[in-house]
Every structure is written in structure tokens, then in C-alpha cells.
């Protein structure tokens, strides 16, 4: 009787495993059928990529494209699992991740932007300035009130309220979080010593609220007094949020504006390595904005079908050329010509 029961259990397990594998295969097939070319990943550049897709489809009929803005972490997972034709990430890929892809990986810097600290302090007249040490300690939970003497000292003309500081952070696996923590890790040893380092998802200290995606962070800040959070510049601008002037590497306070990203990229373009994975955690240049990041498209070096490779390359080439012309409208930095040329050369190697 016991042997019969064990046999039935084994058969049930095998049937369940087979069913689960079939469901996963069906799910992957469904993802593929959504569009002829399917991408997924970062929310940081999502408004721009969706504009590219719309314009490209209008000018190049014949196949459909879609992009799921699910965050850099999920986009990377889908790319590594071969569930999409391209991924998108603000953190690029590590050497270990790239080694997992048998077909090879080509990183393509497609756009760039700045990460701002947006805030909601009621009745505050004038722009808030934050030094590197101050905004690091705010997100470490060490500075808890807006009228803290360290904030007041660098903002002598502002009347800061005795109000608790509430940080608004990302709850999902985020390339924006990765870029922000990469910056914090670069500018002070305190961040690393506190045990955080560079991560896509952080268990933030202090009094914090969390939200999915850049838009979610912006919404919470706009509806909550005393808040401050990090997000892509275009999202903050669209939401009408106030943004702090941040101290850069040269000790100057830089106000976020449309030209901030392009100036910073141009100041640091010569540092581009052969694999096109250039991080700018603490960019050089007296007028550089301190938190600037590239955002990458993740392509396979070899596609199973030449037709699919051609479709992907056609779209990406358009984005690197014609698509750059609309970047500034959405708060992104048009890429310097040196970066565009390097990306186009890399794209030629995709088969």
C-alpha cells in the first residue's frame, strides 16, 4: 500500500512539473507574440523609448514593436531568460551576467539623463541647496528634520520648518536606485561603511516611504509634505516638483535643467571604454551635474533569425540617430557624437 502511494505521489509530481514547464513555455510564447520586436526594462528612459517606438512605427510600417517598462531588474531577468528581443537597464550588465548569455551580449548606450532630488516643503521660498554630505546623511537617516543646522547653514536665506524628513524611495528592483547608490558609494565612505554599497533594491534606513517606478515616487512626493526622493529629471519636471541644487565634485551647486546631462556627458565622453559600459558615479567637470547616468539597451550579439536581427538593428539605429532629436523634450540628454558613433559601430557587429 505504501509503495502504491509513493508511486501515485511521484506520478502527481511529474505531472505537476510537466504542467509548470508547459505553463512557463506558454508564458514565454505569449510574451513573444505581443509584438514582432519586444523589449522590456528600465522605467528611467521609458517615456523616451515609447516615443521612439511610436515614431518609428509610423515611419517604418511592416512590423510591430512594444516595450514593457518593468524596471531594470525585471528587464534584465527577462533578457537573460531569452523572453525578449532586447532589454533595457540603467545599470548595464555585469561581466558575470554577460557570461550567462551563450549568444553574446552587446551593450548600447542609447540615452542618458540626470537623477534629481525632488522635495515637497510647504511654503518654502527659494531653491533648496544640498551638499554631498547632507544628502547622503538624509538618505542614511542621520538628518531627520528640515531645520537641521547642517541644512540651514548652506541655506541661510531660507526659513526651514521643524518638520520631519521623509525619504521616498523605490520598492522595485530599479536601475535608478542602482545609479543613485553608485553615486552615494562613490562620494563618501560612510555609505559603504553603513553596509549598503551599490544595489538595485535597498532596505532604506530612517523614515521612508516606498513606491514602484519613477512615477510612483513623484506621485508620493507631490501628495506628501516633508518628503524628498530621487527620480529621473523628466519625471520630476512633468510632475511640477521642486528640485534641489546639488553640490558636485568641484564643490559647486548645480541646478537641474535641460542642458545638465548633455554638459556632463560631454565633459566625460573621452572615458568611454571599448565595451561601452561607462558609469559616471561622480563626474568630473566644474559645471557637471553630480548624478548623471547612461541607460543601455541590451542586445544579443547573435539572433536566431537574420530577419529579427535586422528588425532590432533598424529600430536601435533609428533611436541613436533620429530618436536623439526628441530626447530633450522628455528631459533626457542627447548623446554626444562620440558616444553615438561608438554605439553605431557596436551595432554593426550584431548579427
276 part of a folded domain: no
* Distance from C-alpha of 302 to C-alpha of 245, rounded to nearest angstrom: 44
Contact between 333 and 262 (Cβ < 8 Å): yes
Q: What angle do CA 101, 102, 104 make, to 5 degrees?
A: 70
Q: How many CB atoms lie within 10 A of CB 12?
A: 10
pLDDT at 215 > cutoff 90? yes
β-pairing, 86-89 with 37-41? parallel
| Per-residue model confidence as pLDDT tens digits over 61-83 | 888 999 999 999 999 999 999 99
219 part of a folded domain: yes
Q: How confident is the prediction for the chain on average, in pLDDT?
A: 90
Q: How confident is the model at residue 135 (pLDDT cuts 50, 70, 90)?
A: very high
Q: What is the pLDDT of residue 9?
A: 37
42 part of a folded domain: no
Query: Could you give phi then psi for residue 337, rounded to 5 degrees?
Result: -60, -35
C-alpha pair distances (Å), 288 with each of 58, 117, 118, 129: 36, 16, 18, 16
33 part of a folded domain: no
- 225: number of CA atoms within 13 Å, CB side? 9
160 part of a folded domain: yes
Residue 68: enclosing H or E segment and its boundaries? Answer: strand 65-69
pLDDT at 116 > cutoff 50? yes
Contact between 171 and 120 (Cβ < 8 Å): no
Q: What is the largest CA-CA distance in the chain?
A: 85
Q: What is the pLDDT of residue 72?
A: 93
Instruction: Indicate the DSSP class of residue 166.
Output: E
221 part of a folded domain: yes
Q: In the numeric block, which cell numbers belong to residue 252?
A: 559647486
277 part of a folded domain: no
32 part of a folded domain: no
How many structural domains is the chain composed of?
A: 1
Per the structure, the complete domain to which residue 199 belongs is given by 114-256
* Distance from C-alpha of 248 to C-alpha of 260, rounded to nearest angstrom: 12
The enclosing domain of 197 has a CATH number of: 3.40.190.10
Q: What is the pLDDT of residue 22?
A: 36
| Per-residue model confidence as pLDDT tens digits over 141-195 | 999 999 999 999 999 999 999 999 999 999 999 999 999 999 999 999 999 899 9
pLDDT at 26 > cutoff 70? no
| Per-residue model confidence as pLDDT tens digits over 221-250 | 999 999 999 999 999 999 999 999 999 999
Instruction: Indicate the DSSP class of residue 215.
Output: H
Amino acid at each position: 500500500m505504501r509503495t502504491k502511494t509513493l508511486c501515485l505521489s511521484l506520478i502527481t509530481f511529474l505531472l505537476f512539473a510537466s504542467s509548470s514547464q508547459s505553463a512557463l513555455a506558454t508564458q514565454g510564447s505569449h510574451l513573444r507574440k505581443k509584438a514582432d520586436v519586444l523589449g522590456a526594462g528600465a522605467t528611467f528612459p521609458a517615456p523616451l523609448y515609447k516615443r521612439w517606438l511610436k515614431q518609428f512605427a509610423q515611419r517604418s510600417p511592416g512590423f510591430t514593436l512594444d516595450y514593457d517598462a518593468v524596471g531594470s531588474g525585471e528587464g534584465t531577468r527577462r533578457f537573460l531568460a531569452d523572453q525578449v528581443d532586447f532589454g533595457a537597464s540603467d545599470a548595464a550588465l555585469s561581466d558575470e551576467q554577460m557570461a550567462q548569455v551563450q549568444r553574446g551580449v552587446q551593450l548600447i548606450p542609447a540615452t542618458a539623463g540626470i537623477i534629481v532630488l525632488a522635495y515637497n516643503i510647504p511654503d518654502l521660498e527659494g531653491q533648496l541647496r544640498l551638499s554631498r554630505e547632507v544628502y547622503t546623511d538624509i538618505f542614511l537617516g542621520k538628518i531627520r528634520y528640515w531645520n537641521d543646522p547642517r541644512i540651514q547653514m548652506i541655506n541661510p536665506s531660507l526659513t526651514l520648518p521643524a518638520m520631519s524628513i521623509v525619504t521616498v524611495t523605490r520598492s522595485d528592483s530599479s536601475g535608478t536606485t542602482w545609479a543613485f547608490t553608485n553615486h552615494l558609494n562613490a562620494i563618501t565612505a560612510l555609505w559603504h561603511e553603513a553596509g549598503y554599497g551599490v544595489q538595485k533594491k535597498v532596505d532604506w534606513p530612517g523614515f521612508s516611504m516606498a513606491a514602484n517606478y519613477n512615477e510612483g515616487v513623484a506621485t508620493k512626493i507631490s501628495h506628501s509634505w516633508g518628503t524628498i526622493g530621487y527620480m529621473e529629471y523628466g519625471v520630476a519636471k512633468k510632475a511640477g516638483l521642486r528640485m534641489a541644487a546639488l553640490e558636485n565634485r568641484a564643490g559647486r551647486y548645480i541646478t537641474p535643467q535641460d542642458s545638465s546631462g548633455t554638459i556632463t556627458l560631454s565633459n566625460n565622453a573621452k572615458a568611454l571604454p571599448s565595451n561601452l559600459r561607462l558609469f559616471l558615479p561622480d563626474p568630473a567637470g566644474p559645471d557637471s551635474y553630480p548624478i548623471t547616468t547612461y541607460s543601455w539597451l541590451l542586445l544579443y550579439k547573435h539572433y536566431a533569425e537574420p530577419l529579427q536581427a535586422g528588425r532590432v538593428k533598424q529600430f536601435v539605429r533609428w533611436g541613436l540617430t533620429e530618436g536623439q532629436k526628441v530626447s530633450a523634450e522628455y528631459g533626457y540628454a542627447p548623446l554626444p557624437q562620440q558616444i553615438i558613433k561608438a554605439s553605431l559601430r557596436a551595432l554593426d557587429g550584431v548579427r
